[in-house]
Structure 1
Amino acid sequence: MFSYDVIILGAGAAGLFCAAQAGQRGLKVLLIDHSSAVAEKIRISGGGRANFTNRDLDPSAPQKHFLSSNSHFCRSALARFTPGDFIALMHKHGISFHEKHKGQLFCDGSAQELIDMLLAECQTASAHGGLVERWQPCKANRVDHDASACLYSVETDRGLAKAPALVLATGGLSIPKIGATDFGWRLARQFGLRVIEPRPGLVPLTFDGNGWAPYAGMAGIALPVAISTSEAPGEKKAKKSRITFHEDLLFTHRGLSGPAVLQISSYWQAGAPISIDLAPGVDLATELLAAKARGSRKLIANELTAWLPSRLADTWVSLNSAWQRPINEASDKALAQLAEQLSDWQLVPTGTEGYRKAEVTVGGVDTRDLSSQTMEAKNQPGLYCIGEVVDVTGWLGGYNFQWAWASAHACAQAIEKHPN
């Protein structure tokens, strides 16, 4: 039997960072992961350059970039370990990076540099009187808790390990081909924690059936849009619940993708429509009527290319014969109708591309059962949950990695060294 101060299940972003932080506090740590690849989700993220945090995260109100049943749960951890703290760690290891868009920070080189940094941080535990031992690949077959001895036991392919603290850093279901499972949620339920029903997040939306046929030919078209959630039929919501993103949209053969759609997908509910402004910041009705008043003899589709990709303009006007003419011959009503549809395109997705294309999982361990200060289960001493396994989902752009670092840090600072 092997004895430790803490056993961490999952050697992804949250698990590796938690292990390093705990080890550097002098704790004896065992890190277990069933996958043969180390931190594969980090390696493939950000096009292989790892969008490791976001400089725009506001430590005083970080929750505005996160989705959760309790949006304020993440505030404590994110305020105590900020993007600046992780950036300082990158500087310490000499890893260069750049800002790509809206505060998103990426490694200049490969995401492997980030993985190597986390592994190096684990190795420095010995200099602080601690230890990080990693069993990988290694499957955890059974987990039990002896309340009288205050010990967790984990039966694995490499033997039995025990510790007074157990950390679930097992991630979610997104990208199953790299080994994603629901193991963390099964363990959480085993110990009496509630789980908010998981679903794919930051994922392309699909529109199956004949209704999408007119738009399927636009696959590959990308353009900046404003995309918003809308209420499902018969549903009433406060205006403040409507959320809008200004990002790029990409048409696909099966539906819509791109940053705009990935962002809104985490908030979209099945059966509800979404609204897309294909020419944000442009008063299309005024512009089209002004062109008509000037006596323009251009086809309406040609006029639209001032604001839309030509293939999109051609496809759109083909939907109505009243738009397939020179603009000076079109009625004001037809132009107004065209402008309205382009500025508020209402459509109902039939689904998503699922976990295989999802970047994250929405839902997870219910935050009502966890301490926001320590990530420890309120009614199960010594059990901690961090990272994606928790019902905290960040926006696209490095926010989810920052939650991994911050929740791992909060957890590591709370775990106590076993007196024996």
Structure 2
Amino acid sequence: MGSLVVDLMHKLLSLRWERPVIILDGLDECGAQEELRSLMKLVLILDELPPAFAVLVSCRPESSVVSAWVRARAQGLVIPCEDMDTVAEEENFHTIHRMVEEGLQDCIDNSSWKPSKEEVDAFVSACRGLPIIASIRVRDVSFQTCRGATLRSEFEYFRDLIDAPEDINKEYLRVLRRAYMVGSSGVRKHTAKKYRQVVATINAAFEPLSVFFISQLSGIAEEEVLAILDPIRSIVDLPSKLDLEHSSESLPESPPESSSEEVQGVKFYHATMKEFIMGDPIGDENDKVFFITDANQYFLGLPLLRFFNNSCEQDVFGFPTVPPLGDEERWSNLPKREHYHPYLLRYARHDQYAQPSQLFAQGSNLQNEFNTFLTQNLVTFMHLAPIGEQYKGFPDGFDEFKVNKIVVSRLF
């Protein structure tokens, strides 16, 4: 923080910026409480910036953040804070009103029916003073009116809601019920199974995955993945149409010219959605299907390793497999696909998915895949390590494979 930020900004200030502003958004999403406490120590170092700088921090009032502000104030630092939950009711209503008016402007312009001022006010009031609910409902109306619903029917739907949501968790439940419930019978079994596979994959990934990759890991066709996620587009950010056209192209012959052409990943609009799904179930018996508390990040270990092994078998990476493997000319003629390797492999190689005590508890399937990896594909794995990174052996806990490890080491 000192050398890369504070010192550098002191030097850059000579460029005569008018008013530099640093924005730190979502600190509460940066790890567990212990990690957040360490992070706050770095954040407070920003007080050493030149006086011309302003730092805006936005986050939920986690205890680690609040206690850091209290300690800093006790040391004489002036840190003005505003609790958005205590914003004046009139100001909050005005903010949500603007969100609704601007967010639904296209829908209103394209509709023969126009909501009255009173109807818009009622729509805004039904958002319970929560901008996050307003943003969800604006997207909900926009998606529904593109799929055959009318603007009038959508306003009437929200006006006539039974057991209208009072908080964000109940709003998430409303969206899921509307998307998947079939009358009083609940969610169809085949829909529930696919929902749990797809959403659990999104939850467990440590960064957004493409529709193609979600399809590969879950074993569900891309169109079925989209069919599961499309009804909940108000809470799930799906790729644009252009991205979807390229999602089935696993590894084109040549990499894109810039990172801006990379396939967009699927993610939740709000971190609170993930917390909701992994939290204690609410609602009735039929609603329990929406909550995924029995699938953590380790359940991706088997499908990730299987995906990697299959990619090696299909010669996706294009590495020579017939001796002499050290022929420099053969390696120099390989397609330049390095751009794709990090995206494909950072999941299969990530420590979060390679904890033996968790992985091998799942049964023999993963052990069989790992044996395949050791005996057939470890050479490819090691060649795909980032430039300058040395292979350091297997993660702690894989001692049971030391015989294979010795055999593999002799290949080099």
Identify the TM-score tier after normalising by the shorter chain.
under 0.3
Q: Does 1 or 2 have the higher relative contact order (CA < 8 Å, sep 6+)? A: 1
TM score, norm. by length of structure 2: 0.22
The structure with the largest helix share of the pair is: 2
TM-score (normalizing by structure 1): 0.22
Q: Which is strand-richer, 1 or 2?
A: 1
